[in-house]
Amino acid sequence: MRRRRTFSIVAGGAAIFSLAVLSGNSDVTAAADSETPKAEKSRSIPPGPWKNQDRLLDAADSVRDVMEKKDPSFAGIVIDPDANMFTLYVHGQPNAASSKVLQGQNQKGFRVVVRQAPYSRAGLDQAQDTLWQQRNALGIEAVVAREDGTGLVADVRSSSTKAAVRSADQSLNTVAGVPVTVRQTSWKPTGADGTRQSDTSPYWGGAQIFAGNKACTSSFAVRDAQSTYLVTAGHCFNAGTTVENGSGKPVGKVTFNALTSGKRLDAALIKARAQGYVYDGAYNDGNGYRKPVAGYRRPAVGMYVCQSGAFSGVTCNIKVTYMGKRIRLDEPGRPVAVTDEAEQQNHTAAAGEGDSGGPVFTVSPDDNYTRMTVVGIVGGGDQTTFTTCVGVQERKCAWRINFARFDNLRIQAKITAVLTARS
């Protein structure tokens, strides 16, 4: 009989809310009973803001590919699936190549709007660099550029006094040379056989994974030139750690950690026999519902995503609000990570402790919401947005979260493919 894993939830530090719960030869030979076929069923996500999102994201990718590195007028892109609208922010006039690709978007069934911004992305990146270099003296925990080109947003600790916030507001604007909005936040990283609680080989994303008394979530499966891997959050487990499922059976060993290797990305790879599926539905659904993985895509501000945490289950109606935020994690050594930020639109729980490492994904009405497309990896939650948890109770959950962008991990870890249902 398999041993069911139990764990304790330990409160984290004051600054960054980790969604990891404190509670190989990395090839793993699965036990004979782990080869039992898992459920083939999938739970569909109800139609909603997804209707227009795919084509808006395609347009954002096309424009960003042309403008981001080669057009100094570029400031940012915001999509609005609810209004079926794509907004490009520029500082000055787009060059000829940018104008051509923009004209190509006009006949694709959505509204294209071009707005002037007071600053270009290059100018805001320079101002962001200036603030970040002085983050210790200025008391900054995180800083990010506004996608509409109007300035920066800087996070200071929620424990700061009102006088300190007012002082920071004045000093940051002076140092950066652009408008800076100061937010008080407190970020903390978050961490039955053939189910989320006790996944079996070949392993899927969205399942509970453990090492010692620390619990996190597997994200999705990838491969490089040599092997297959499960993705999870970098703050969950150090390189060399053997990770187990909920029954205490070994899943695989962490062979790459982007966070601890100085890559500034909260992501890691577990070498394991894995498959292109992610657990779907509630955290405790014993039927082993799954979604096949269709591939991956880059995020955009304004897009809607879901996450599938092993302790929360699937949560949706989460909108991306900022991209490329630099943040100091409340982990040993205060490592710096580059993350994207998202908010649950009804201020219900987006993710909570134990969901760290889980997949951030989008779905499409084109296949009746039955497949998921990878966007990123759940990282941390803002403690100033704590709310009632969904799924496992007696832990901390938040409606504002950050996530590591998969496209960055793909490059850093030399990943050749996301495993799909056809892989």
Banded pLDDT at 28 (limits 50, 70, 90): very low
**H/E stretch holding 138:** helix 135-138
Mean pLDDT of 358-387: 93
Mean pLDDT of 263-291: 91
- pLDDT, one tens digit per residue, over 318-355 is 999 999 999 988 777 778 899 999 999 999 999 999 99
**pLDDT at residue 253 is higher than 80:** yes
For position 2, what pLDDT does the model report?
A: 33
For position 19, what pLDDT does the model report?
A: 67
**pLDDT at residue 4 is higher than 70:** no
* Residue that wins the pLDDT comparison between 354 and 108: 354
The torsion angles phi and psi of 96, rounded to 5 degrees, stand at -60, -40
**pLDDT at residue 16 is higher than 60:** no
**Is the four-CA dihedral 278, 317, 113, 376 of positive or negative sign?**
negative
User: Encoding tokens for residue 403?
Assistant: 């996530």
For position 160, what pLDDT does the model report?
A: 62
Banded pLDDT at 9 (limits 50, 70, 90): very low
For position 42, what pLDDT does the model report?
A: 63
CA pair distance 143, 135, nearest whole angstrom: 9
- pLDDT, one tens digit per residue, over 47-84 is 567 878 999 999 999 999 999 989 999 999 999 999 99
**pLDDT at residue 180 is higher than 60:** yes
For position 165, what pLDDT does the model report?
A: 64
CA pair distance 90, 120, nearest whole angstrom: 7
> Which are the contacts of 91, defined by CB distance < 8 A and separation ≥ 6?
72, 73, 74, 75, 116, 117, 118, 119, 120, 123, 149
CA pair distance 294, 280, nearest whole angstrom: 14
- pLDDT, one tens digit per residue, over 123-178 is 999 999 999 999 888 888 999 999 999 999 999 877 666 666 677 777 898 899 99
Q: All domains of the chain, ordered by start, with CATH?
A: 51-116 (3.30.300), 123-185 (3.30.300)
**H/E stretch holding 93:** none
For position 287, what pLDDT does the model report?
A: 74
**H/E stretch holding 176:** helix 162-176
CA pair distance 98, 79, nearest whole angstrom: 18
CA pair distance 136, 52, nearest whole angstrom: 42
For position 260, what pLDDT does the model report?
A: 87
394 to each of 11, 155, 198, how far by Cα in Å? 11, 27, 21
